[in-house]
Amino acid sequence: MKKTYIELKEAFEGFLAGAITPEALKPVAAPLGIYQQRDGNFMVRVRINGGEIACEKLVGLAGILDAAGGHAHLTSRQDIQLHDVPAAHVVDAVVASDRLGLPFKGGGGNTYRNIAVGSDSGLAPDTVFDVYPYAHALNRAMQRVEKAFALPRKLKIGLFANERDRLRAAVQDLGFVAQIRDGVEGFTVFVAGGLGRESSVGLELIGFLPGPQIVRAAVALTELFYDHGDRANRHQARLRFLLKRMGAEAFQRLYLEYFARTAAPVIHVQAEDQGSPLIQGLKRGRTAKPVAGFEMWKHFAVSPTRFGDTVKSVRLFVPYGNLDAGQLRMVAALAAEYGSPFVRLLASQDILIPLVHISALPGLYKRLRQELAEIDLTFTSYKGHIVTCVGASVCKIGMADSPAVADLIAVALDRHLPPDTPEKLRLLKLAADDLRISGCPNSCAGHPAAKIGIECLKRREGDEIKTFAALFAGAGVGADGKVRLSERLPGEPVRLEHLTQKVLELVLQVAQ
């Protein structure tokens, strides 16, 4: 057993015997991504690099849930969290995940976190190039950089295959956007962006970084952060505060000094075209009479790919990002049966089956509706499909139960915006992709980077503490390429009873 797992085992044994407090357990468990929930059970975060995971590993995780209890939660950072795991089962879950090839190192705490990747990389027709091979090479290299696991605060890296994702790249501590210059693959590099208290857009640090230099760029930033980050004040420790203190020019100068002296390896990424070899093996469907609802579903759940008109990607809308063991197994089995040996987890807490033959779509839709009828994977209601953080019912430091707030809004959207016209379909996409709700200003749902964001807070009214919501809008990328976050709308935070009307108005306004 790895040294960190032995320490974890000893700490949990002490905790279960009552000899170790939750506070004493945290420094051992948190850096691995293990946190105690509000109800006393544990959340065990499994790193899924870029959210790309083989179907057989999903089945393995389902087996772990069978033994440990709890359910899987897909996160906006493309990890899979095992929720509601009793203390007595945590270590077994960790060791079993490791055996699946999903090791625990840096899932939480002051470490380099899961790499985020734009999930349509290598699939979408407008992909600049597939960044997944870079994400996997970078993760392998970073796992060996010990300083990346002893940082002043967490460090988030993201890679994106398209200019469309410029905003997402600009809110990472280190964000890369693919571009090709003179036939060479490379990246625009953003640093020190971040969401949370004092959210900010990162600095565009390097206009074009040749692809093979990506590890060097990440290690240089890690070293800089390790040496210069604020270890005294946790609330000012993220990289964006260092950038603010130093100013852009001094930060850039310092970074380039680190870059010049960093001896990290130049990596040569082998372009792995994951898609092409699989196309011939995709399951074909018989021409059957499509089931009611199929045509509408096709509009919002099915995306084109660069593999031609007959190969599509299919998004499974996962309510609240939650799946129990049986559902996880069924989803994995369906994806594999239709010809995709892997799936991708989306920042919207959904699942993408990357490759499905067009002729198989009606059959797949029918099976999603019939075999997984207890879970709304096809978006028949907004309920569960508005992206939120886990909220205060799970999170110990949260202020509001953000999924419950989303449910209130979903009822109003279901009433006013069912997907029965093209106009309303547009609104559905907006609500599913660009509306985000965080249960406190920590912004774990990423609401400042959403076109419509909601931040919950508590306020005292007489003798009662009530939940209010502050509304944000305006995030996007300007014609000049400049990225902007959503700004808090003028006026006082609204009470929950007025929120649904306000959000509905805002959805209609933003969709204009």
Please report, as ranges, the residues that interact with ligand SF4 according to CB under 6 A: 389-392, 395, 397-398, 402, 438-440, 442-444
> Of the two residues 73 and 312, which places its CB atom closer to ligand SF4 in the complex?
73
Q: At 255, which amino acid appears? A: Y
In this structure, the number of other CB atoms found within 10 A of the CB of residue 99 comes to 11
The per-type count for the chain, helices as H runs and strands as E runs, is 16, 23
3-state helix, strand, coil in the chain (%, to 5): 40, 20, 35
Q: Min. distance of Cβ 439 from ligand SF4 in angstroms?
A: 3
Q: Min. distance of Cβ 390 from ligand SF4 in angstroms?
A: 5
Q: Min. distance of Cβ 24 from ligand SF4 in angstroms?
A: 22
Question: Chain-centre distance of CA 261, in angstroms?
Answer: 33
SS (H, E, C) 25-45: HHHHHHHHCEEECCCCCEEEE
CA 447 vs CA 263, 376, 455, 485: distances in Å:
37, 24, 7, 9
> Of the two residues 47 and 166, which places its CB atom closer to ligand SF4 in the complex?
47
Separation between Cα atoms, residue 256 and residue 16, nearest integer Å: 49
Separation between Cα atoms, residue 380 and residue 319, nearest integer Å: 11
Buried-exposed string 174-190: b where 16+ CB fall within 10 A, e elsewhere: bbbbbbeeeeebbbbbb
> Of the two residues 221 and 389, which places its CB atom closer to ligand SF4 in the complex?
389
> Of the two residues 156 and 216, which places its CB atom closer to ligand SF4 in the complex?
156
> Of the two residues 118 and 391, which places its CB atom closer to ligand SF4 in the complex?
391
Q: Min. distance of Cβ 455 from ligand SF4 in angstroms?
A: 8
> Of the two residues 373 and 397, which places its CB atom closer to ligand SF4 in the complex?
397
Q: Min. distance of Cβ 71 from ligand SF4 in angstroms?
A: 17
Q: Min. distance of Cβ 443 from ligand SF4 in angstroms?
A: 6
Closest CB to ligand SF4: residue number: 398
Separation between Cα atoms, residue 252 and residue 249, nearest integer Å: 5
Q: Min. distance of Cβ 72 from ligand SF4 in angstroms?
A: 17
> Of the two residues 31 and 439, which places its CB atom closer to ligand SF4 in the complex?
439
Buried-exposed string 414-452: b where 16+ CB fall within 10 A, e elsewhere: eeebbbeeeebbebbebbbbbbbbbbbbbbbbbbbbbbb
> Of the two residues 40 and 125, which places its CB atom closer to ligand SF4 in the complex?
40
Closest CA to 195 of 470, 457, 455: 455
Closest CA to 108 of 169, 75, 153, 78: 153
Cβ atoms 115, 158 nearer than 8 A: yes
> Of the two residues 43 and 128, which places its CB atom closer to ligand SF4 in the complex?
43
Question: Chain-centre distance of CA 321, in angstroms?
Answer: 11
Separation between Cα atoms, residue 90 and residue 37, nearest integer Å: 13
- First-residue to last-residue Cα distance in the chain: 57
> Of the two residues 155 and 427, which places its CB atom closer to ligand SF4 in the complex?
155
Q: What is the DSSP letter of 379?
A: -
Q: Min. distance of Cβ 466 from ligand SF4 in angstroms?
A: 16
Q: Min. distance of Cβ 418 from ligand SF4 in angstroms?
A: 29
What residue has token string 């279960």?
16
Closest CA to 225 of 115, 113, 79: 113
Query: What tokens were used for 505?
Result: 């108005």
Q: Min. distance of Cβ 465 from ligand SF4 in angstroms?
A: 15
> Of the two residues 118 and 446, which places its CB atom closer to ligand SF4 in the complex?
446
Tell me how long the chain is.
512
Q: Min. distance of Cβ 239 from ligand SF4 in angstroms?
A: 19
